[in-house]
Structure 1
Amino acid sequence: MNKLLWKPAEERIRSTNMHQFMDYVKDQYQIPLHSYDDLYRWSITDISHFWEAVWNYAGVIHSRPFDRVVDDAQKLPGARWFEGARLNFAENLLRYRDDRLALSFKGETHAIVSITYAELYDKVARLACSLRTVGIKPGDRIAGFMPNMIETVIAMLASTSIGAIWSSCSPDFGSSGLLDRFGQIGPRILFTANGYSYGGKKFDSLATIGEIAKQLPTVEHIIVVPYTDPQPDISCLPGGELFDDFLVQGEAPELVFEQLPADHPVYIMYSSGTTGVPKCIVHGAAGTLIQHLKELKLHTDVKRGDTIFYYTTCGWMMWNWLVNSLALGARILLFDGSPFYPGPDVLWQLAQDEKVSIFGTSAKYLAAIEKAGSKPGKTFDLSSLKAVLSTGSPLSVESFEYVYREIKDDIVLSSISGGTDILSCFALGNPMGPVYAGELQCRGLGMKVEAYNDAGKPIIGEKGELVCTAAAPSMPIRFWNDPEGQKYRSAYFESYPGAWSHGDYIEITERGGVIVYGRSDATLNPGGVRIGTAEIYRQVETVPEVLDSLVIGQDWENDVRVILFVKLREGCELDEELLKRIKNTIRENTTPRHVPSKIIAIADIPYTLSGKKVELAVRNVIHGKEVKNRFALANPEALELYNGLQELMS
């Protein structure tokens, strides 16, 4: 039984949006609800009324109401949502037009800058007018190769106000990675900054843009935001123009919000691309909007007075999720740079100075600052903080305890889990509920999530495959260039026909929480026993000498043996004493089957650009298989360290 770490006071429970929504449902639908579990059960058994309630409670702005919520929630894939409705995605995010702060941006080496909701509306209106002037129309693709800055949000809102489809990548992508993505969708406009900062260094983006522009014949205009250089030389860019010069000047034009069907595309997202050319995942406006409103307003308890921060790039789905906070009138804090420059506390200094109330990050970051000895709660005034969110990979029990011990003991720690595929979450936080170490608090409202055993049967209290057995509005409307839908069906619906198979290995606890054990395609099977890699990572992270680690299964003598790679602190050596201590730590806290057959010191661990370990790519390398798309990695050179290791030959 995992340890109870926090429980909200009754007064705090009653003040949450979740509790108020529960009261709203009781009044509107005459449903006797007494707890989150009651609300969750209703949300997955009366799916149409649940999403209707979210639509109305969140105040989705529309010019025509829907004829029905969903045609058939059991149709997977292919359920149609909110048919008949006409709306605009950007209009919902720009409903506030007052003098309260909307966006604040802190560049690594720049002073913070902010704009109000009124100023944001004005900028979007000017940019949208400029885009219309050059012929942008609904369905056109507009791409961003931008830092996480204010102009990126403006460009997205201006594009989607017209009905153009926004697609972005973070500026640390190389030219091949960009072409693998933007080359598939054919953007007409490309937004970029002249560069970005990371770790105290400035990196040029214009050379990369100049290189790919020659291979993207669809691009007609390249709009450049001066960032690392106030007067960048853009003469090398065909169709290049500075952002402010491109904006309509003079009196602000009227902002026209194109009214479009509910399933009109709003975003094109990309799979990681570590096993081939990335999939281009198309998300619809209404489904994305309502799912994010549910997750932010209810599960995250975002309110008008909040300042919400998430450490993310514009190439990770958490950016799309974060910017939807505009629809709730919150202030969004954006950041470009390293979370460890000039030291491990830089983000907590920012949280103190800007009075952040909701702080989002990755499990990897929390583990890293603990290893660095950071104690933010003792160093900074975090009195405004009410929630910490973590995603990207499973958050260990030790990291849960670290947050309450060293950051703040009276917050809701929401470990959340979902994916780019649904642009949202399957499991989330619950501001009305307790937090247990190692557990995600709940399955998301309206998300009929089960853990399936090998026979395809739902199980509780055991490890299984994460499946979703009813449609959800943020499931993709299609893949790009997949007219028959074959790629889409094979990606999620072949393992368990009639259910979405997400590829995560989970356990649903008796109390309704969720434990994530890692990706099911990276699950280890020594002797036929399934082991989630997160079970081993959790133990290795407690060893002080280990900075990072990676676990894979190596095919060996008609079975699979577990191999653990460890990246050690500077000055540490993988001697017999440390080997023994690592093995004992794993054995004593898991089972003997979890103990690796071999533990190998390695100089680096490969990660995707969105910060996820690439276990499958390393597995391919050690088995002599090709890694098809190294451009999707933040540090592709690290893969060479695993090639031809003598330790794996015996």
Structure 2
Amino acid sequence: MKELRLHSDISDRETVFYFTTCGWMMWNWLVSNLALGATIVLYDGSPFHPDPSAMWQMAEEFGITVFGTSAKFIAACQGYGLVPKDRHNLSLIKTILSTGSPLVEESYDYVYTSIKEDVQLSSITGGTDIISSFAGGNATLPVYRGEIQCRALGMKVESFDDSGKPLINQKGELVCTRAFPSMPVNFWNDPDGSKFHNAYFSDYPGIWTHGDYIVINDHGGVIVFGRSDATLNPAGVRIGTAEIYRVVEAFPEIEDSLAVGQQWEGDERVILFVKMNEGEQFGEELKKKLMDAIRSGCSPRHVPAKTVPVPDIPYTINGKKVEIAVKKILHGSEALNKDALANPESLLFFSDLEVLKD
């Protein structure tokens, strides 16, 4: 109720849509709107059927006021070259919500130039394990490009360094230093609580560590750089994968990408996998442009040691890139929980790659 009524300003006057499966926490979020008296819209199927503007057509037809989706969907709309504001009457939409992965700065630009100028764009972050958000929207605050507006009410969220000291304007671990109402208390089939402890409390005793790599800035905004367990660490410098994706996926030739770390000669090197758009080829000229863009848009540390074209990028059913599974495969381990993937067959390509043996 807190997230719906206070963070999202939803009342019984709203018509709310969130593109989600029943297995994702956003399903719980969506149906809970009924308790406020709001109308909800359910959708099953591809969001791009029968054409890429299907969701925006639906928003117009049903008078949707709160439109929830994923960062991937927004990026895909941009990739299709859609300008929904020119084709659809979206005057009733007051809020666009995005979650599932970090919403990059360019997606903020796209929303405000191509979808709607007078809209609250709320990127939110949390977890299915807590059925809640750690940071989200606020209708009374400004929207800053590339930032989540504020930390969530009832969540004592901080960014910690390795020694457990809070950080401002520096990258660190997302932690919650106080108990919160939706905090799980144990795992099934974990009689001594060791699995539960190792999942959330082993890094900082007594403090929930969620596994995201973030910055909290001096005006209270939050920037998420990706999963901390997927954080790249070349030469001991921590790099969020979202920083690389923001640059790479701005290239029109590239549909998608995945960055992971590979242990190499006592260090870690960055490996970038790219999925090309239909009709595009990966070659040395594009590779050089990519490396130059990453170097100038991020830093020399971000530049991949290897860039490899792939037929597909693995995703969970909830639309999140699967970095950890690919990293395990590169190091000879088996990827677990394949049932959670939307395209598990995509993992086959990453096994025993010759190009990564030198």
State the TM-score bracket (shorter-chain normalisation). over 0.9
Amino acid at match of 1:353: E
Could you list the runs of 5+ residues in structure 2 that have no partner in the other structure?
none
Partner of 2:161: 453
Decide which of 194, 197, 214 is 1:506's aligned counterpart. Answer: 214
| 1:485 has 2:183 as partner | no
Q: Counterpart of 1:315 in 2: which secondary structure?
A: coil
Partner of 1:117: none
Q: Equivalences for 1:203-222 in 2 at 5 Å?
A: none
Post-superposition offset of 1:641: 0.8
Post-superposition offset of 1:575: 1.1
- 1:549-599 Cα offsets, whole Å, 9 max, x none, are 000001111100000000001111111111011111111111010011111
Amino acid at match of 1:563: I
Post-superposition offset of 1:502: 0.2
Q: Distance in 1 between matches of 2:81 and 2:28?
A: 32
Partner of 1:145: none
| 1:404 has 2:118 as partner | no
Post-superposition offset of 1:476: 1.3
Q: Counterpart of 1:378 in 2: which secondary structure?
A: helix
Partner of 2:330: 622
- 1:508-546 Cα offsets, whole Å, 9 max, x none, are 011100000000000000000000001101111111101
| 1:355 has 2:78 as partner | no
Q: Distance in 2 between matches of 1:486 and 1:563?
A: 33
Q: Distance in 2 between matches of 1:620 and 1:445?
A: 36
Post-superposition offset of 1:479: 1.9
Q: TM-score, normalised by structure 2?
A: 0.98
Q: Equivalences for 1:180-259 in 2 at 5 Å?
A: none
Post-superposition offset of 1:628: 2.6
Amino acid at match of 1:417: T
Amino acid at match of 2:81: G
Q: Distance in 2 between matches of 1:384 and 1:362?
A: 20
Post-superposition offset of 1:371: 0.4
Q: Distance in 2 between matches of 1:349 and 1:572?
A: 30
Q: Distance in 2 between matches of 1:376 and 1:481?
A: 49
Q: Counterpart of 1:561 in 2: which secondary structure?
A: strand
Q: Counterpart of 1:465 in 2: which secondary structure?
A: strand
Post-superposition offset of 1:302: 0.2
Q: Counterpart of 1:436 in 2: which secondary structure?
A: coil
- 1:591-648 Cα offsets, whole Å, 9 max, x none, are 0100111111100001111111111111111111111332221111111111121211
| 1:340 has 2:48 as partner | yes
Partner of 1:416: 124
Decide which of 274, 283, 291 is 1:566's aligned counterpart. Answer: 274
Partner of 1:387: 95
Post-superposition offset of 1:356: 0.3
Amino acid at match of 2:239: I
- 1:239-292 Cα offsets, whole Å, 9 max, x none, are xxxxxxxxxxxxxxxxxxxxxxxxxxxxxxxxxxxxxxxxxxxxxxxxxxxxxx
Partner of 1:641: 349
Q: Distance in 2 between matches of 1:481 and 1:622?
A: 30
Post-superposition offset of 1:483: 3.6
Decide which of 313, 316, 319 is 1:605's aligned counterpart. Answer: 313
Amino acid at match of 1:322: L
Q: Equivalences for 1:303-342 in 2 at 5 Å?
A: 303-342=11-50
Q: Counterpart of 1:479 in 2: which secondary structure?
A: coil
Q: Counterpart of 2:42 in 1: which secondary structure?
A: strand
**Which of 1 and 2 has greater Rg?**
1
Runs ≥4 residues deviating over 3 A: none
Q: Counterpart of 2:257 in 1: which secondary structure?
A: strand
Partner of 2:152: 444
Q: Distance in 1 between matches of 2:225 and 2:313?
A: 19
Amino acid at match of 2:280: C
Post-superposition offset of 1:485: 2.8
Q: Equivalences for 1:19-30 in 2 at 5 Å?
A: none
Alignment RMSD: 0.9
Post-superposition offset of 1:445: 1.1
- 1:13-48 Cα offsets, whole Å, 9 max, x none, are xxxxxxxxxxxxxxxxxxxxxxxxxxxxxxxxxxxx
Q: TM-score, normalised by structure 1?
A: 0.55
Q: Distance in 2 between matches of 1:592 and 1:415?
A: 29
Q: Counterpart of 1:562 in 2: which secondary structure?
A: strand
Decide which of 573, 576, 600 is 2:284's aligned counterpart. Answer: 576
Q: Distance in 1 between matches of 2:195 and 2:235?
A: 33
Q: Distance in 1 between matches of 2:336 and 2:303?
A: 31
Decide which of 233, 242, 251 is 1:525's aligned counterpart. Answer: 233
Q: Counterpart of 1:336 in 2: which secondary structure?
A: coil
Amino acid at match of 1:402: Y
Amino acid at match of 2:251: V
Partner of 1:534: 242
Partner of 1:297: 5
Q: Taking every aligned residue pair, what percent have the same amino acid on both sides?
A: 60
- 1:38-86 Cα offsets, whole Å, 9 max, x none, are xxxxxxxxxxxxxxxxxxxxxxxxxxxxxxxxxxxxxxxxxxxxxxxxx
- 1:364-385 Cα offsets, whole Å, 9 max, x none, are 1111110011111111000100
Q: Distance in 2 between matches of 1:349 and 1:525?
A: 43
Amino acid at match of 1:562: V
Post-superposition offset of 1:504: 0.2
Partner of 1:58: none
Partner of 1:286: none
Q: Counterpart of 1:581 in 2: which secondary structure?
A: helix
Post-superposition offset of 1:494: 1.2
Post-superposition offset of 1:486: 2.7
Decide which of 496, 502, 507 is 2:204's aligned counterpart. Answer: 496
Q: Distance in 2 between matches of 1:537 and 1:432?
A: 30
Decide which of 301, 304, 307 is 1:593's aligned counterpart. Answer: 301
| 1:548 has 2:256 as partner | yes
Amino acid at match of 1:618: V
Amino acid at match of 1:568: M
Q: Counterpart of 1:572 in 2: which secondary structure?
A: coil
Amino acid at match of 1:610: N
Q: Equivalences for 1:111-150 in 2 at 5 Å?
A: none
Q: Distance in 2 between matches of 1:469 and 1:313?
A: 31
